[in-house]
Amino acid sequence: MADAVARVQLRTDGQPLWQALSEHLKAVATMAAAFAEPFGASDWARYVGMLHDLGKYHPEWQSYLRRQVLPEAHLESSKRPRHSGVGAIAALERFKHHRPARILAYCIAGHHSGLTDWHPDLEHRLTIEERERALYREVRELPQAQQILSCPAPQSKPTPWQKSPEQLHLWVRMLFSCLVDADVLDTEGFMQPDVAAQRGSYPSLDELRAHYNAFIERLEGSVQPTPLNELRRQVRLQCIEASVHPPGFFSLVVPTGGGKTLASIGFALEHALRHGLRRVIVAIPYTSIIEQTAAVLRYGTDAPSPSMQLFGSEAIVEHHSNLDPDKETLRSRLAAENWDAPIIVTTTVQLFESLFGCRPSQLRKLHNIARSVIILDEAQLLPAEHLRPLLSVLRGLVDYFGCTVLLMTATLPVLEGTIGSPPAQLQGIRGVRAIIENPSELAQKLDRVELVVDRARGDRLTWEELARELGGYQQVLCIVNSRKDCRDLHQLMPEGTFHLSSLQCGQERSWIIQQVKERLRRGEPVRLVSTQLIEAGVDIDFPVVYRAIAGLDSIAQAAGRCNREQRLQQKGKVVVFNPPTHVPAGVLRKAADATAELLRTRGELRLDPEFYTDYFTAYYRRINTFDAANFQERLVHGAEEFSFAFRSFADEFRIVDERVHESVVVWYTDPVTGFDSRTLIEEIRCGRDTYKTWRMLQRYVVTLYRSEVEQLARSGYIERCGSLWVQAIEQLYVPGVGVQFDGQGSWFGDFVV
């Protein structure tokens, strides 16, 4: 019998180049074992690597593969024979169907299709269906396959097995990640060696620390010795001092404007080098601010300057939907697939939906999260309805995969001890080490605003009254609770007032933020009405900020946009007011109710850690569930039997529920470059689209409720272009305010930030 082959590549001369199946299996096994070494699972990874393509030894597969080089191959059916179940059945048979063998079955059977539910899906496929069992019986008789079947079996036990079965699902995911990444990389190395050569070769963490120290030295030599800059220096020093402590949970609680971003990176680099961790992952809640953070890491500031550079572009990989393709290289795109760069900047959604996903493309990167420093920026925005699985997976990463998690925020939520009240109650994480020795004292020193709350107690203001009041200021920011409120108030404001909400595409929002910053910098009049998307991390500095009643954490974030740099001779002014409309139902209303309770019982609101603790306690008491996707039922209750519902949980765990929302590509012409998004739509319509086309489109998308999209389609405002909804008439999108339901400016829908 000829040597079995794994795949074929046609050379430029038309001759086939074959990869031996045994070589592929051994290469994947070796690579996967190396990937699993940081969490002590090399023997398991080596075994799944050896068996994952066992089914390709079957004559039917070999015949199919060898036919692919024939001239008439395109005339035949392109359907490939099944193969992944054979190795999974072999693993179950070797271990006499003992339950831990299911770990191997999940990984091998799912290495193309993803992790699925054991019952009824995988159990039925591997133990009852006859088709793949028949393939297995034929393969096990082949001499070449017998050599693979006799490879050493894993001897170690999964580390969470006896101590914390709750973490077994994460251990399986990590193992699966090792297999998938090794399989893809070996295939790429054979089929696309030029692409494979672009991977790796990043600067070391030691080099990055040297860049960081040199940058900080230049920064401290160039800034004015103000009290604010001295406080920022003290925050950085406390971060460096805290890096000596062992890996685990840390908190960095610093008021907005206190220099958390640079300080946290200093901690992460020093901590990683001291304790042998491998990379830094920065997770940010909103794509609207992720580019700003990435710019700070590249240049040390969100306004790049030729004279200032922190880490540059080579070490930073951004992984999010808003990435500008002109700033993306093949190397950075490859790194986004498996997160093998030293610094990853991503979204909270991307991080957690990868950790709880089931598709190979989601899970491939997971093994590179092991032994990392994970910075959770704006930790107060962890969604309460998913808090049980989120805190569980963070505990798992710390306890079993050598990670350090840094909870970074100005308003630290209550994540330790007992959270919530019966029947919605859970135990939080333990042993969070505070980096800032006295956060209350730091909050007092960074107190730069007067918080006015009388307007939150009294009667509701009308939009007309509020607009007149705001019009009396030359520079003012007003933040409201919904897109409709934003539109209604903006229509009453003086001409030239900026409007900012997610009814505008990302490209326009970025331009507006830049315009506002420049006017503030020049001391020119500027008024902005915005939804809360301006709050989380956007470095903007108004002398006066108005905030509609909301959660205290949101009010604190709004205050962070006021007198941020302490340039005023007196304190900035933050006014909390009672708007004419109710706070949208759901968690936003629960948060506002918790704030109102504090105001009622304490008689005041203060922006300090003591009040934040009381606020989050009151807020979590109002939450109906911390486990909206049934984590306990789907991933914990059956853990000791290795019976997981991977796919069912992944389908329900959505931080942003795409089943409720749909995206629409709008017409927008960039006022700086003159680029018109209709160029991209036309490329797709004519079949000239490329990877860059689709990446650029993300900058021109507006997300709406599905019911709203259906209504727009019925009215002829949008149309299909392939798989996309795209704008169809000029009146739908008005620069300055975004999507409108008709040319008269009437609006629909309630709340998406």
pLDDT band at 303 (very low <50, low <70, confident <90, very high): low
pLDDT band at 320 (very low <50, low <70, confident <90, very high): low
pLDDT at 634: 97
For residue range 555-565, list pLDDT tens digits in order. Answer: 999 999 999 88
Q: Quick check: 742 pLDDT over 90?
A: no
Instruction: Tell me which range, 254-263, 320-329, 427-436, is most confidently predicted by mean pLDDT.
Output: 427-436
Provide the β-strand partners of residue 743.
none
Instruction: Tell me which range, 66-70, 102-106, 342-346, is most confidently predicted by mean pLDDT.
Output: 102-106
Sign of CA dihedral 595, 599, 600, 601: positive
Query: Which among 547, 499, 533, 540 is positioned nearest to 517, based on CA atoms?
Result: 540
Looking from the CA of 669 toward its CB, the CA atoms found within 13 Å total 3
**Residue predicted with more confidence, 200 or 36:** 36
B/e letters for 339-353, b = 16+ CB within 10 Å, e = fewer, are bbbbbbbbbbbbbbb
Other CB atoms within 10 Å distance of the CB of residue 406: 26
Provide the β-strand partners of residue 664.
702, 725
| Percentage of the chain lying above the pLDDT 90 cut | 72
Sign of CA dihedral 436, 440, 442, 443: positive
pLDDT band at 653 (very low <50, low <70, confident <90, very high): very high
**Residue predicted with more confidence, 559 or 317:** 559
H or E segment to which residue 532 belongs? none
- CA atoms of 435 and 438, how far apart (whole Å): 9
Q: Which amino acid is at 115?
A: L
DSSP one-letter code for 629:
T
H or E segment to which residue 701 belongs? strand 701-705
Residue with tokens 């008709």: 742
Task: Average the pLDDT over 137-155 and give the result.
Answer: 95
Tokens of 11: 């050379």
Q: Which amino acid is at 162?
A: Q
Residue with tokens 């040199």: 214
Q: Where in the chain is the domain with CATH 3.40.50.300?
A: 205-321+333-413+420-438, 447-618
Residue with tokens 């795949």: 7
**Residue predicted with more confidence, 630 or 690:** 630
- CA atoms of 627 and 653, how far apart (whole Å): 9
3-state secondary structure 212-261: HHHHHHHHHHHCCCCHHHHHHHHHHHHHHHHCCCCCCEEEEECCCCCCHH
pLDDT band at 312 (very low <50, low <70, confident <90, very high): confident
pLDDT at 337: 81
3-state secondary structure 348-370: HHHHHHHHCCCCHHHHCCHHHCC
Are the beta carbons of 327 and 312 closer than 8 angstroms?
Answer: no
H or E segment to which residue 559 belongs? helix 552-559
Q: Where in the chain is the domain with CATH 1.10.3210?
A: 5-159+169-192
Sort strands 526-530 and 738-739 into parallel, antiparallel or unpaired. unpaired
Instruction: Tell me which range, 39-43, 188-192, 378-382, is most confidently predicted by mean pLDDT.
Output: 39-43
> Is the domain 5-159+169-192 a CATH 1.10.1760 member?
no
pLDDT at 14: 79
Contacts of 539 (CB under 8 A, 6+ apart): 292, 302, 517, 564
Q: Which amino acid is at 350?
A: Q
CATH number of the structural domain 447-618: 3.40.50.300
Are the beta carbons of 382 and 376 closer than 8 angstroms?
Answer: yes
Task: Average the pLDDT over 674-699 and give the result.
Answer: 89
pLDDT at 329: 56
Strands (E) in 306-358, as ranges, are 316-319, 343-347
pLDDT at 325: 43
Task: Average the pLDDT over 126-141 and give the result.
Answer: 94
Task: Average the pLDDT over 246-250 and give the result.
Answer: 98
Q: Quick check: 338 pLDDT over 60?
A: yes
pLDDT at 657: 66
Are the beta carbons of 520 and 564 closer than 8 angstroms?
Answer: no
Task: Average the pLDDT over 190-209 and give the result.
Answer: 88
For residue range 37-93, list pLDDT tens digits in order. Answer: 999 999 999 999 999 999 999 999 999 988 887 655 443 445 788 899 999 999 999
pLDDT at 75: 37
pLDDT band at 661 (very low <50, low <70, confident <90, very high): confident
H or E segment to which residue 20 belongs? strand 16-20
Residue with tokens 């080099």: 207
Q: Which amino acid is at 312?
A: G
Q: Quick check: 539 pLDDT over 70?
A: yes
pTM: 0.90
Residue with tokens 């080490």: 433
252 to 240, 398, 539: CA distances (angstroms):
12, 17, 18
Looking from the CA of 335 toward its CB, the CA atoms found within 13 Å total 26
Averaged pLDDT score across all residues of the chain: 90
- CA atoms of 556 and 657, how far apart (whole Å): 27
pLDDT at 103: 97
H or E segment to which residue 723 belongs? none
Q: Cis peptide leading into 120, omega within 30 of 0?
A: yes
pLDDT band at 304 (very low <50, low <70, confident <90, very high): low
pLDDT band at 750 (very low <50, low <70, confident <90, very high): very low
Tokens of 480: 């409201």
Task: Average the pLDDT over 372-399 and give the result.
Answer: 96
Query: Which among 539, 601, 550 is positioned nearest to 576, based on CA atoms?
Result: 550
H or E segment to which residue 475 belongs? strand 475-479
DSSP one-letter code for 537:
S
For residue range 289-300, list pLDDT tens digits in order. Answer: 777 787 788 877
pLDDT at 308: 66
pLDDT band at 751 (very low <50, low <70, confident <90, very high): very low
Residue with tokens 């297995």: 136
- Second CATH level (architecture) for the domain 205-321+333-413+420-438: 3-Layer(aba) Sandwich (3.40)
Max Cα distance, the chain (Å):
88
Q: Quick check: 581 pLDDT over 50?
A: yes
